[in-house]
Amino acid sequence: MKVVLFCGGYGMRMRDSPDDDIPKPMQMVGPRPLIWHVMRYYAHHGHKDFILCLGYGANHIKRYFMSYDESESNDFVMRGGQVELLSTDISDWSITFIDTGLESAIGERLRRVRPYLDGDEYFLANYADVLTDAPLNSMIDEVKGTGAAASMMLVPPQSSFHCVDVSDAGTVKAITPVSELFAIWENGGFFVLTQEVFEHLPEGGDLVADACVALAERDRLYGYRYNGFWKPADTFKERAELDTRFNRGDRPWMVWESGDTDR
């Protein structure tokens, strides 16, 4: 199943400074960039045909993969100056690099790569800045079983803020962390989509605000609720937290290390 990755935004909340031109998907978690971790997750579950929706910082992403060094994350034997890899990361991946514009909304980026989906009924999509250990193929099967036109992973609220219940007189009645409001779910950024989504994507439109809202109004959108590990890297702080977890060996999103799949 093809995987569309949206990696063309400016990522202003991730930058160290206004002059930092490294796109968010290329920010590092351990020795590899975010986009590598996302792609390894999909590849681990058997989905190795990627379409990258490029925009801002496209040259960084292109250069990274065109000069990819397998030896950085794989064991190898060197004989007479020649390297023999004992395992590989990306040798069996197909990566299509498509310029989808600097200012394009997510939905418009998706519209521009539609020809490269080859008319496949189902395909996957991701913001390329979120990591999880969710059972991907089980999620796909569940979505297919519902007959929905599209689905999004739903996760509990991640905010550290508190909700306050206050009376008209100003008396505080209760204080509840947002994360404990389990009746509320957030968009987790992992999508299983069908070609029907394009019927609700206007030119310049947005995947969620336009297509997903329209499908929800028609009872054609499914929400896959997941309470396991899910972590965004939308800000510098969040990326740094993931990097710290990587360095101490706490890497639940790296499901390929265990060798197990949900099949």
Q: Dump pLDDT digits (tens) for 134-149.
A: 999 999 999 999 999 9
Cα 19 to Cα 202: distance, rounded to the nearest angstrom: 33
N-terminal to C-terminal alpha carbon distance within the chain:
15
Strand blocks (E) in the chain: 2-7, 28-29, 32-33, 49-54, 76-79, 82-85, 94-99, 122-126, 130-132, 150-155, 162-166, 172-177, 186-194, 221-225, 230-232
Domain ranges of the chain: 2-155+182-257
Query: For position 179, what pLDDT does the model report?
Result: 66
pLDDT of residue 159: 67
CA 62 to chain centre: 18
- In order of 107, 208, 234, the CA distances from 69 in angstroms are 33, 36, 26
**pLDDT, tens only, 169-219:** 888 888 877 767 667 889 999 999 999 999 999 999 999 999 999 999 999
pLDDT for 263 equals 59
Judging by DSSP bridges, how do beta strands 94-99 and 122-126 pair with one another?
A: unpaired
What contacts 199, CB < 8 A, 6 or more positions away? none
What's the CA dihedral at 196, 202, 203, 206 to 10 degrees?
-90
The fourth-level CATH superfamily of domain 2-155+182-257 is Spore Coat Polysaccharide Biosynthesis Protein SpsA; Chain A (3.90.550.10)
Chain centroid to CA 224: 15
77 vs 32, 65, 203, 224, 256, CA distance in Å? 21, 22, 51, 43, 22
* Three-state SS at 124: strand
Does the structure show a pLDDT above 60 at 103?
Answer: yes
User: What per-residue confidence (pLDDT) applies to 17?
Assistant: 47
Is the whole model's pTM more than 0.75, yes or no?
yes
In 3D space, the residue among 212, 165, 205 whose CA is nearest the CA of residue 188 turns out to be 212
Average pLDDT of the chain is 90
Tell me, what amino acid is at 227?
A: N
Residue of 77, 9, 7, 63 whose CA lies nearest to 38: 7
Question: Residue 47: what pLDDT?
Answer: 98
